[in-house]
Structure 1
Amino acid sequence: MKWKYILFILGLSAILGACEKKDISVFSTNDAGIYFQLIKGYYGTTTEIYTDSLDYSFASVPASMKDVMLPATVRTMGKVVDYDRPFRVVVDKEGTTAIEGVHYEINVDTVGIPAGESMAKINVRFFRTDDLMEKSVRLALRLEDNEYFKCYFPEYKSMNTYSSTGVLIHGDSFSFTLSEMYTIPWYWSVIIKTDYFGTWMPKKFMIINMVCGFTLADWNSAGATGAKIIFGRCGFYATMVQKYLQEQADAGTPVVDSDGKYMQLDPKYAVDYSQYE
């Protein structure tokens, strides 16, 4: 009985010792942090998913749209203050294939967090260039420490819920990927073939869409009842494009196709380029 009493006392001491209050180290600093975070929310829930990149294709917009402004969102941790705070962002040369002045323009010298705010956007203007029909280009941005902000989050979880696994994304870098790559629409390859627009090429496809006001949605619904693109109208559309190409040629600005040759449609809608031969 005596031993049972002793063991009880020892066990109770161990339990009480394990329950003692211990000091836990917490993050505490007067420095403000900064990080990239593009938020995409799940519909109907409070779960948010974060990403450190943005893909954009000019193929999804009207051909008349020659550039687009895309933002990279930066957020801060720490106190909100009553004065403007510039932050430092640079183009990551190793992760970038886009050419400044050709594919994009950006002003990194004026970026900052406005007074009373905890976030800001870095706006980048991207241009619709012919080479995007053949390849994608990438612009990578990187945050760096300055006197106002520190980059405390090189990586963090992509979801805001504790129980979700998520993946790790970059807090100090953000990338844009731009392209305009097309595939041959089924209506072109099966119905139109070469009777109106000739051999399919990416740049010709873009010119046809620009002149006729077509979108990818129009091509996806081609031939259906009420569709904009139907076989009976293709002659009219081919005439519109031929007229545009001829006007460009007569003005001294002939349109060159993806193969490096002057753009032509079907021979029935030939463009006269004799002055260039």
Structure 2
Amino acid sequence: MKWKDILFILGLSAVLGACEKKDIEVFTTDDAGIYFQLIKGYYGTTTEIYTDSLDYSFASLPASMKDVILPATVRTMGKVADYDRPFKVVVDKEGTTAIEGVHYEIDLDSVVVPAGKSSANVNVRFFRTDDLMEKSVRLALRLEDNEHFKCYFPEYKNMNTYSSTGVLIHGDSFSFTLSEMYTIPWYWRVIIETDYFGVWTPKKFVVINLVCGFTMDDWNNAGGTGAKIIYGRCGFFATMVQKYLQEQADAGTPVVDSDGKYMQLDSDYAVDYSRYE
């Protein structure tokens, strides 16, 4: 199969234009290509839209969840093999700010395209760390050639229809951007800050959500008919959080707030940290 035929099938029109101007060698029987291709969405019923990056916020998860597994999908060109084929992925250190063992863990020594398959996932476990409330971190992966696969597509079009206009994305690299940044909910700022929970901080917000079982939807709907968070119940919720913070303090594991001080709510729900003075 010639290069331009493969590019036509994949809809890589931007590359096709260049390939038509020069001779392309025919693949040998054992040649196979590999590239990242994560489906971002669909346009209509047949058009797939691809991406070479993924942004994720832990703010969308319940506070009790401490990690998440996210995939980077690879796809292959050429014949499907009847045996597992390892492929090579490395961490691109120049494009990475995430710290292995702190922000993520990944096993790059056992990634394979399974027998009879033309795709596989590179799964990364990301951890919910406190610093993600203040900044985002990035993990960049890069495919490299090995004895089974070649990285033939440094770039290709982000749509599977060759006649459509699209932008170029990277075929040999993929990046994750992780964060957990919050903005103060309007109900906290306007209704309950001075009476119950005190000054808002990202970490206090997470602790309250953990103890009370709140979600972002609960905050977005706060104060409405049938809402979980209403002014009349906030005293009960503040008492729950105060009890939790006191138990942590008494156990020798006091909760530290975003400003480095021991976490406190409103003065009516004060936590006793005197043993640490």
**TM-score, with structure 2 as normaliser:** 0.90
Q: Secondary structure at the match of 2:197?
A: coil
Q: Secondary structure at the match of 1:238?
A: helix
**Rg larger in 1 or in 2?**
1
2:164 equivalent to 1:171: no
Unaligned runs of 5+ in 2: 1-21
- 2:27 aligned residue: 29
Q: Secondary structure at the match of 2:218?
A: helix
Give the letter for the 2:26 counterpart: S
Distance, in Å, in 2 between the alignment partners of 1:184 and 1:40 is 29
The share of aligned pairs that are identical, in percent, is 85
- 1:88 aligned residue: 88
Q: CA shift at 1:27, angstroms?
A: 5.9
Q: CA shift at 1:44, angstroms?
A: 4.5
- 1:220 aligned residue: 220
Q: Deviations over 1:212-263 (max 9, x none)?
A: 0001111000000000000000000000000000000000000000000000
2:257 equivalent to 1:257: yes
- 2:135 aligned residue: 135
Kept in 1: contact 2:242–2:269 (CA 8 A): yes
- 1:248 aligned residue: 248
Distance, in Å, in 2 between the alignment partners of 1:66 and 1:235 is 28
Q: Secondary structure at the match of 2:177?
A: strand
Paired residues for 1:1-277 under 5 Å = 25=23, 28-30=26-28, 31-42=31-42, 44-277=44-277
Distance, in Å, in 2 between the alignment partners of 1:93 and 1:117 is 30
Alpha carbons of structure 1 residues 249 and 53: separation in structure 2 relative to 1, 3 Å: same
Q: Deviations over 1:64-97 (max 9, x none)?
A: 0000001110000000011111000000000000
Distance, in Å, in 1 between the alignment partners of 2:41 and 2:128 is 29
Unaligned runs of 5+ in 1: 1-23
Distance, in Å, in 1 between the alignment partners of 2:26 and 2:264 is 68
RMSD over equivalenced CA pairs, Å = 1.1
Distance, in Å, in 2 between the alignment partners of 1:162 and 1:105 is 37
Alpha carbons of structure 1 residues 51 and 128: separation in structure 2 relative to 1, 3 Å: same
Q: Secondary structure at the match of 1:224?
A: coil
Distance, in Å, in 1 between the alignment partners of 2:121 and 2:44 is 26
Kept in 1: contact 2:35–2:172 (CA 8 A): yes
Distance, in Å, in 2 between the alignment partners of 1:176 and 1:221 is 30
Distance, in Å, in 2 between the alignment partners of 1:43 and 1:247 is 52
Q: Secondary structure at the match of 1:228?
A: coil
Q: Deviations over 1:119-162 (max 9, x none)?
A: 11011000000000000000000000001100000000001112
Distance, in Å, in 2 between the alignment partners of 1:172 and 1:163 is 23
Alpha carbons of structure 1 residues 58 and 166: separation in structure 2 relative to 1, 3 Å: same
Distance, in Å, in 2 between the alignment partners of 1:170 and 1:238 is 49
Q: CA shift at 1:164, angstroms?
A: 1.7
Q: Secondary structure at the match of 1:235?
A: helix
Q: CA shift at 1:41, angstroms?
A: 3.3
Kept in 1: contact 2:43–2:49 (CA 8 A): no
Distance, in Å, in 1 between the alignment partners of 2:83 and 2:119 is 13
- 1:9 aligned residue: none
Q: CA shift at 1:193, angstroms?
A: 2.2
Q: CA shift at 1:25, angstroms?
A: 5.0
Q: Secondary structure at the match of 2:93?
A: coil
Alpha carbons of structure 1 residues 63 and 27: separation in structure 2 relative to 1, 3 Å: farther
Give the letter for the 2:157 counterpart: K
